[in-house]
A and B are shown apart, each in its own frame.
Chain A
């Protein structure tokens, strides 16, 4: 019995290695004449944690925003969990339901309570009853250690609490992938840790994560791979130990020198 389980687990991993949960191929994105993303190719395996860093304007946010089509793109393809983006609107919503996203500015719905923020998408997209949606919402609010704030409005919460609610709201859809777009950049320093702790525990539970962040401690301890982007290109992709100790590209070295040495 035990060996069968191990066997199944190995088979699973093997399958995951064959079929990435996200496959970005030849992605091109323009803002007018500005070439924002230049031929991006990236595969993300199931359960993989990737941290993306780079100077501002390097296209890192744009890239992860293309994954759930919050951003349009001109060429290339993105396949998420076997669903190809680019054709019908139906696919877009199917992908979005499987991909959670956390924004720099939280983007909680200010006219809804914390609980209602979390219940909305399960009710409207998954069509669960409001009783079940409430149970789901409370489950994930407990997970981000904030259930006592359920009936407050977002404006009554601190930034760190708001961002944890935003994570809980995304988790209520039980996404297969979580995208983080600079989740701690808008936070006061003392609130960064509570959000990072939540992200670390999520990573430990095997969530597939794409994080745009400059929290290099987080990258070191959690990431399977670190990606460095500059000028709309992926310059370097490496395991964190290599990435920080022996970056291959000069631009990566410069960037790391700027953010680490002070």
Chain B
């Protein structure tokens, strides 16, 4: 039975867009929290911790995100954790994002002049305050543009979750395409949705970069 491409299809694609946004938010926030830890480990005074974080980053940068999602989705049940596609995808994307954000923020931390943490140390500030109050605020500012750039990649990357059966924007467009035989409309609409999310972010990043360039 071939359906017409109607309001139902449009609504289901919009529903998919909402799921994509939610998944991206979860991955970005989770990745942000763990990414901060990865960045701190990567810039730690202890060599073994730096090496460990380096290996973690290398693994996630050196393997396709799809494989990472498969490993979580099929790997967790092996250890006795039977989780929903939602949970598996969230965990997989969080790992992935933490490695990339960790590496971006590592660069930011190292770009903060050494004199800053020296001055903080000289005032008697401990490591936590030195990082939280002095180094990280400046590092985040310095890495704002690449962070947003990665967020855009991440949002588009969530489409891979469709392959393990998770219904987000791409998957809902695929479903609409196969029930209506109007793939061009379905995928065109999905692409427009991705663009509507990603384009403003890219513009924000570019504008911030210009402002930052004129300020310094």
Q: Which A residues lie at the B interface, using CB under 8 A?
A: 68, 70, 93-94, 96-97, 99-101, 103, 105, 107-111, 120-121, 124-125, 166, 169-170, 173
Contact = CB atoms under 8 A, between A and B. Distances in A.
B115 interface: yes
B1 interface: no
Contacts of A70: 118, 121-122
Contact of A121 (B125, B137, B141): B125
Given A96-B123, A107-B113, A124-B129, 20 more contacts: A70-B122, A96-B121, A97-B123, A99-B122, A100-B122, A103-B115, A107-B115, A110-B138, A111-B137, A111-B141, A120-B123, A120-B125, A120-B129, A120-B134, A121-B123, A124-B133, A125-B123, A125-B124, A125-B129, A173-B123
Give the interface size bracket for B toward A.
10 to 19
- Main SS class of interface, B: helix
B156 to A, nearest CB: 32
Contacts of B121: 68, 70, 96
B213 to A, nearest CB: 15
B118 A107 contact: yes
A173 B115 contact: no
B137 A125 contact: no
Contacts of A111: 137-138, 141
A93 B126 contact: yes
Interface of B: 113, 115-116, 118-126, 129, 133-134, 137-138, 141
Contacts of A100: 122
Contacts of A103: 115, 118-119, 122
A220 B113 CA distance: 34
A125 B118 CA distance: 15
Contact of A93 (B113, B124, B138): B124
29 contacts: A68-B122, A93-B124, A94-B124, A96-B121, A96-B123, A97-B123, A97-B124, A101-B122, A107-B113, A107-B118, A107-B119, A109-B116, A109-B119, A109-B120, A109-B138, A110-B138, A111-B137, A111-B141, A120-B123, A120-B125, A120-B133, A121-B123, A121-B124, A121-B125, A124-B125, A124-B129, A125-B124, A125-B125, A125-B126
A242 B133 CA distance: 47
Contacts of B133: 109, 120, 124
Lowest 5 A-B CB distances belong to which pairs?
A97-B124, A107-B119, A121-B123, A101-B122, A96-B124
